[in-house]
Amino acid sequence: MTINVYPNSINSISVTNNETASALPATYQVARGIVTGVTSFVLNGYQSAFPITNYYPAWENASYYPSYPGSAAVQYVTSTSGSDTAVQVLVSGLNSTYTPISETVTLSGTSFVATVNSYLRINSLVVTSTTSPVGTVTIGPSNSSTTTVYAVIGLTTQNGSTISNGRSNMSVYTVPTGYTLYVTRQQAFFAGGGANYGTFRVFTQNAGVYSISAAAPFTMQGLSITQVTPLVYAAGTDIQWQMSAVGSAAASIQVEGLLITSAAN
């Protein structure tokens, strides 16, 4: 017996019955979690009504991502629904030295729940409880306002019902201390029709130095960039995969790569 991975693709991979899963390529071994010091990096950003004229990351708010804070601080997690009192959310981010930190916060409805840790960056929010939130969940620096937020768990529709996305979906990431990010694929899609189009770019900052790269316009067919040689982002680099759009419509950005520790061989 032969098992075909992506049998209809030019990248078809076969594993025969006298081989084990260890015969699959190295990227599959990374996804299985058996390659020491190497983690799959998959990022998805989405905005249902992408704003026009300026560059924004794809995330839950149709706006710029807030300015990065200059120092680590306690953050506050809240929901737009008072019934979200048994929901647990995993907060993942970086401390003042860009070291990865995380904690689980239990929501208290529309009250603002303080984190135990102080965060310099927020990389993601993920629901970890068996109870899903009813409202939109946000994290930000204020204990009384959601004007500035660094990550959002939004809502969507499934089978005619409104449900939680269960996690933040934003094309924003900061590389932790002790790691290097190697990006192998970048994709952008924009649902604007007719003469409307999008322009993709990558914005980075590290130690006060800004960089804009990979700027590329694209139409409704979307944009997919596969790197022959991975793009390399050092520890402490703030990255926003951004778009601008002519005509407001749904848009998404996907990024794939490998996060490798400095200690990996």
Dist CA 188 CA 46 (whole Å): 10
Question: Top-level CATH class of 38-64+172-261?
Answer: mainly beta
Least confident of 74-83, 114-123, 233-242, 255-264: 255-264
Q: Confidence class of residue 2 from pLDDT cuts 50, 70 and 90?
A: very low
For residue 197, the model assigns a pLDDT of 83
Structure confidence at residue 25 (pLDDT): 85
Mean pLDDT of 43-66: 92
- pLDDT in the model for residue 14: 59
Question: Which pLDDT does position 147 carry in this prediction?
Answer: 96
Summarised one tens digit per residue, pLDDT across range 127-183 is 999 999 999 999 999 999 999 999 999 999 999 999 999 999 999 999 999 999 999
Res 221: pLDDT: 74
55-113 residue pLDDT tens: 999 999 999 999 999 999 999 999 999 999 999 999 999 999 999 999 999 999 999 99
Which pTM was predicted? 0.91
**E strands present in the chain:** 2-5, 13-16, 38-50, 56-57, 73-79, 88-94, 100-106, 113-119, 121-127, 137-140, 151-153, 155-158, 161-164, 172-174, 179-190, 198-206, 209-218, 223-233, 238-245, 249-261
The amino acid sitting at 136 is T
Nearest Cα to Cα of residue 137 among 114, 161, 112, 157:
112
Using CA atoms, how far residue 260 sits from 76, 100, 191, 233, 240, in Å, is 30, 14, 34, 11, 19
Domain ranges of the chain: 38-64+172-261, 73-164
